[in-house]
C-alpha cells in the first residue's frame, strides 16, 4: 500500500493591491544580487539598487522598508547570503509587507530554498513580486509559477557549473 502524505491547506491571503490608501501604505523592500565581483556585474548590481530604491520611494502608496543585497555570492544556496537572510528575518518580524526583486534567479537558484522561503513569507502575510516574470506570490497561480521558474533557474545554474568544469 502506498504511503499518503497529507499536505495541510495554506492560509488564503489577499492578493496584491494596485492602490492602497495612504493610511495603509505597504512597507516595501527590494532584494538585489549578483553572483560574481566581475566589473560588468558590478554595474548590474548598482543598477538594481538604484532602480529599486528610486522605484519604491517614488510611489505614494508605498513606504521604503529597505534595500537588501548580496554581492558576489551565488544564488544556489541562501546559507551564506547575509542580505537575503536579514531581509527574510525582517519580513518575518513584521517590518516588510512586500519584497520586490528583479527575477526568480536573483532571489534563489535552488527550488527548495525558493519555495521554502516564499511559503514562510506567504504564511506571514508577506508578498514577493518577481518583476521579470510578473509573478506575485499571493496570487492564486503564483506558487505554481515559482515552482516552474525555480526549477528552470536551478537547472540553468547546474548546466553553467557543468560547462565551467
Q: Is 60 a domain residue? A: yes
CATH number for the domain harbouring residue 91: 3.40.50.1390
Q: Is 12 a domain residue? A: no
The domain tally of the chain equals 1
What is the phi-psi region of residue 40: left when phi exceeds 0, alpha when psi lies from -120 to 50, beta otherwise? alpha
- Which pLDDT score is estimated for 18? 46
Best CA proximity match to 109, nearest among 79, 138, 135, 131:
79
- Which pLDDT score is estimated for 142? 76
Best CA proximity match to 114, nearest among 63, 21, 103:
103
- Which pLDDT score is estimated for 41? 58
Q: Is 9 a domain residue? A: no
- Which pLDDT score is estimated for 2? 61
Predicted confidence pLDDT, tens digits, the chain (165 residues): 567 666 565 544 444 544 444 557 999 999 998 776 555 556 778 888 899 999 999 999 999 999 998 886 655 567 778 999 999 999 999 999 999 999 888 887 677 888 889 999 999 999 999 999 899 999 878 777 777 776 676 666 556 556 666
- Which pLDDT score is estimated for 8? 60
Q: Is 8 a domain residue? A: no
Report d(CA 157, CA 151) in Å as an integer. 10
State the sign of the Cα–Cα–Cα–Cα dihedral 98, 99, 105, 110. negative
Q: Is 124 a domain residue? A: yes
Q: Is 11 a domain residue? A: no
Q: Is 86 a domain residue? A: yes
Q: Which domain holds residue 112?
A: 24-164
Amino acid at each position: 500500500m502506498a504511503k499518503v502524505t497529507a499536505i495541510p491547506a495554506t492560509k488564503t491571503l489577499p492578493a496584491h493591491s494596485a492602490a492602497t490608501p495612504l493610511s495603509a501604505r505597504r512597507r516595501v523592500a527590494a532584494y538585489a544580487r549578483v553572483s560574481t565581483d566581475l566589473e560588468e556585474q558590478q554595474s548590474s548590481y548598482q543598477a538594481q539598487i538604484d532602480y529599486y530604491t528610486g522605484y519604491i520611494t517614488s510611489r505614494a502608496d508605498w513606504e521604503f522598508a529597505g534595500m537588501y543585497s548580496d554581492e558576489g555570492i551565488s544564488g544556489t544556496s541562501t546559507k551564506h547570503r547575509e542580505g537575503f537572510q536579514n531581509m527574510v528575518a525582517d519580513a518575518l518580524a513584521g517590518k516588510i509587507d512586500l519584497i520586490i526583486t528583479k527575477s526568480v534567479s536573483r532571489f534563489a537558484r535552488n527550488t527548495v530554498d525558493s519555495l521554502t522561503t516564499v511559503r514562510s513569507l506567504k504564511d506571514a502575510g508577506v508578498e514577493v513580486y518577481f518583476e521579470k516574470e510578473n509573478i506575485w506570490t499571493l496570487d492564486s497561480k503564483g506558487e505554481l509559477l515559482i515552482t516552474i521558474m525555480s526549477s528552470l533557474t536551478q537547472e540553468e545554474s547546474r548546466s553553467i557549473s557543468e560547462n565551467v568544469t
